[in-house]
Amino acid sequence: MSRAKNKKGNSPSRKNVAPPSGGLLRWIFGSGRPVVLLLAITGLFGGASYLAWQHVRKRVLSSESYWLPLENVEITPLPEWIHTDIRIQVFRDASLDRPLSITDDDLVQRIRDGFALHPWVAKVQRVQKFHPARVRVDVVYRRPVCMVESAGELIPVDEEGLVLPGEDFSPVEKSRYPRLVGIESAPLGPVGTRWGDDSVLGGAEIAASLSAGWEKWGLGRIVPARPAGAGLRDTATFELRTRNETRILWGRAPAGDASGQVPAKEKVARLEKYFAEHGTLDGKPASVLLDLSRPPAGQGAASDGPLIPLPHRKGT
């Protein structure tokens, strides 16, 4: 009996013997182990994907859907005064006229820099690339405000006195813009840079402020004037001339307006008022019709109207 009892007592209990599969499952699903396994599986999958990509990378990136032809470069629609395809000029001057891939890391910056250097572009707002290969460039264009007469040429400039490409304008188109005369200097730099003469900057600012009414009012020229002995950088005053050579004294350019000067908007408003009342800005040739540099009637000056004729200066 005791042997049987001891044999029974020494035999292991069924409760304490775990099947091999149960121990493996407990190890696998133990605390924190699922996360480790997930990371391991993800790593294996990522590694396999990377190896597969390296195997087919060259073939995929060499497909036409990644290569950017010039015709797939879209830009902000050109305004009426630009007649050339500036994309061709930008890609040529920026050495972008070679095979380009939208996978190039610096493609967007290179295109942005290329357009920013073009004389017709005032600002590059955004450059975006897409697949299949396409690039969108949003820019702000410069606007010509007048033609500067210099050394027998008519040279277009914008409101900041920056020289613009002249080949975009026919002789007829040039004749439609305000003309700034009496400029003895030449541009200091190439197209796309500022003229370098304050008289050109001032005349351009005046032309920009008069753009809406220039044709309607029959204006023809803007003429700078400096006191005798004044240097190139001294502040100039300006006159307007109608096509009939009537003179209108403007005064300083908008940027040269100082305390006590009549603002440019007020000068334009006075021209509008006078034209509405008289139907013309013309008087006797070489006579001064208006002096816009003085405050109007009721502000310590004579009323708007014909003034005492002043002598016409030869050559202007």
| CA distances from residue 115 to 120, 125, 136, 138 in whole angstroms, order as listed | 9, 10, 12, 10
Task: Note the pLDDT tens digit of each residue in 127-152.
Answer: 999 999 999 999 999 999 999 999 99
In the prediction, which pLDDT does 254 show? Answer: 84
Is 282's pLDDT higher than 50? yes
Task: Note the pLDDT tens digit of each residue in 96-107.
Answer: 988 899 999 999
Is 311's pLDDT higher than 70? no
Proportion of the chain above pLDDT 90, given as a percent: 61
Domains annotated for the chain, with CATH where assigned, are: 66-141 (3.10.20), 144-291 (3.40.50)
How far apart, in whole angstroms, are the C-alpha atoms of residue 286 and residue 296? 22
Burial of 309: CB neighbours in 10 Å, binned 0-12, 13-18, 19+: middle
What is the b/e burial string over 158-192, where b = at least 16 CB atoms within 10 angstroms of the residue's CB?
Answer: bbbbbbbbeebbeeeebeebbbbbbbeeebeeebe
Is 15's pLDDT higher than 60? no
E strands, 39-86, where?
Answer: 73-75
Query: 221 is written with which tokens?
Result: 């020229």
Residues in CB range of 167: below 8 A, 6 or more apart: 84
User: Are 149 and 221 in contact, with CB atoms under 8 Å apart?
Assistant: no
Is 276's pLDDT higher than 70? yes
In the prediction, which pLDDT does 286 show? Answer: 84
DSSP character for 12?
A: P
Is 17's pLDDT higher than 80? no
User: Are 250 and 292 in contact, with CB atoms under 8 Å apart?
Assistant: yes
Q: What is the pTM of this model?
A: 0.73
DSSP 163-226: B--GGG--HHHHHTS-EE-------SSSTTSB---HHHHHHHHHHHHTTTTTTTTTEEEEEEE-
Residues in CB range of 192: below 8 A, 6 or more apart: 117, 118, 119, 162, 163, 164
How far apart, in whole angstroms, are the C-alpha atoms of residue 271 and residue 277? 10
How far apart, in whole angstroms, are the C-alpha atoms of residue 115 and residue 140? 10
Return the H-helix or E-strand segment holding 149: strand 144-150
How far apart, in whole angstroms, are the C-alpha atoms of residue 203 and residue 145? 9
Q: Are strands 179-180 and 153-158 parallel, antiparallel or unpaired?
A: unpaired
Q: Which of 1-5, 197-201, 300-304 has the lowest mean pLDDT?
A: 300-304
Q: Which of 43-57, 73-87, 196-210, 275-289 has the lowest mean pLDDT?
A: 43-57
Residues in CB range of 5: below 8 A, 6 or more apart: none
